[in-house]
Structures are given as C-alpha cells and as structure tokens.
Amino acid sequence: MSVPAFGLGTFRLQGQVLIDSVSTALELGYRAIDTAQIYDNEADVGEAIAASGINRQALFITSKIWIANFARDNLIASLKDSLRKLKTDYLDLTLIHWPSPENQVPVEEFMAALQQARELGLTRQIGVSNFTVELMQQAIDAVGAQNIATNQIELHPYLQNRKVVEFAQRHGIQITSYMTLAYGEILNDPVIKQIAQQHQATAAQVTLAWAMQLGYAVIPSSTRRANLQSNLGAVGLTLSDAEMALIAGLERGQRLTSPKGIAPNWD
C-alpha cells in the first residue's frame, strides 16, 4: 500500500486545539498526518511536527491543493507555500482536493502540474480526492493510473461508494476513506455496537477496522487523548466474514458532504 493504512485527520481543527491533537497523536505513535490548504492549519501542523522531534523520514505527511490554486502557474507556487508552512522540504502525498468547478481548469492541466511538482521533488506521490469514476478516468488519461496513489473519498458504512471503489481498485488506485465514522453517527448503530461488544472493542474501532480490512486507508481525527489512543486499537482488530457482511448491509447512500458549487455529479 502506497498510503499508510492508518493516519490522523485534521479537518476542522486549528490553533492550539490542532497542535495538541497532532502532538498527542505523534506521542501515541501516529506517523501519518493528513491536512489541506483550505483547512488553514498547515502552519499549526508544521509547528506540532517540529516540536515532536520525530525524524522527518519516519512521517507521512499529506496535504491537498485547493481549487483556487489549480491553474498550472499557481499549483506549484501554492505547494511551495504549503511546504513552508509545514516546515518540510517535501510532502509524501499531494492531492487535488476537489475537481475544478464546471471544469474551469481541465483535469489534464492540474494533473500535469501535480506530476511536475513530483518530478521537482516537492512531493513523493500524487493523487486525487472526491473524484468520480469519470474524473478518475480523466486523471488516468492525463498521467497514468500508476502515478495516482489514491482517491480520498467520503466512505463509511452508510455510504460505501462501491462504484468508485471498484473502478479505483481495478486500476490499482488505493482508496482513502474520510468521514469513516459518519460524523459519529455510526457509533450508535445497533449492528456496529453488537459487533463491538463481541470483540470487547469500541464502535469506532470496529468501523475503522472494517474499512482497513477492505484495503482502505483511514484518517480519523479527535481532540481527546483517550479517543486517539482507542482508535489506534483498530489496527489490530480483525472482523469475521459474517461481521463484514453485516456491515456491508448498512449501505444506504447517505452522503454527508456535498458542497454546493464544488461537488461533482456523484456516481
């Protein structure tokens, strides 16, 4: 897997709250951190990483290019700005955060710029986020499937995104699941809670383990030390085929994020 199976998300976290979350996670053993230009917290992430004293080579840092920076002349400059904020010479993974609204910047243009950033050593891997099957095909046509590490998408038991997953996996593109816990809604699901009880685990651990067992990377976030530590327990949890089938049956097409004017026509 080109993307670590388990990492820390930082969406909606800023300032000292973010710094404390990243610092605690690194102390507990997290080594993959996911951020984005639009989160406006890259500098905070960089501060927490620098203070940790952990060797850069031991970390896997991901950020995402915002739609305002897709034009060929802007993308690399914006990435360099992200590197400055993150206090690092390179990213391990750089993603296109959302497709360009109304195709204002063609997929071919921003994927070519992202590939150029990789050739310049600014990022080790490149990928996409919130891409449909059609958009993934355009990205593949632009740079080749072998150069696309992942498609980061909303994916949880209530929205399993199977069409996108099957297409990505068929082309060797890893799936990264965000919002894996469905904003916490999944933690009260009777099926998940029953499975958790059988494993003496938490509902979050079961859900994260389900996603990783399907081959997806996960990036849960938390501001609480106890939850950060508990979520790590998902890495060692294995669910039975019957349990995986029960969770597969929870699919109901419940999409939680679809920003107006930005979101594509979903599959």
Q: Provide the annotated active-site residues.
A: 39
Q: Which two tokens stand for residue 175?
A: 């799936």
Q: Is the dihedral of CA 38, 85, 178, 182 positive or negative?
A: negative
| 174-178: strand order across its sheet | 8-9, 32-34, 60-65, 91-96, 123-129, 150-154, 174-178, 217-218
97 is in an annotated binding site: yes
The crossing angle, in degrees rounded to 10, of helices 133-143 and 162-170 is: 20
DSSP label at residue 63: E
Instruction: Judge contact between 18 and 44, C-beta under 8 A.
Output: yes
Q: Is the dihedral of CA 218, 176, 117, 262 positive or negative?
A: negative
From the annotation, which residues make up the binding site? 97
From the annotation, which residues make up the binding site for substrate? 97
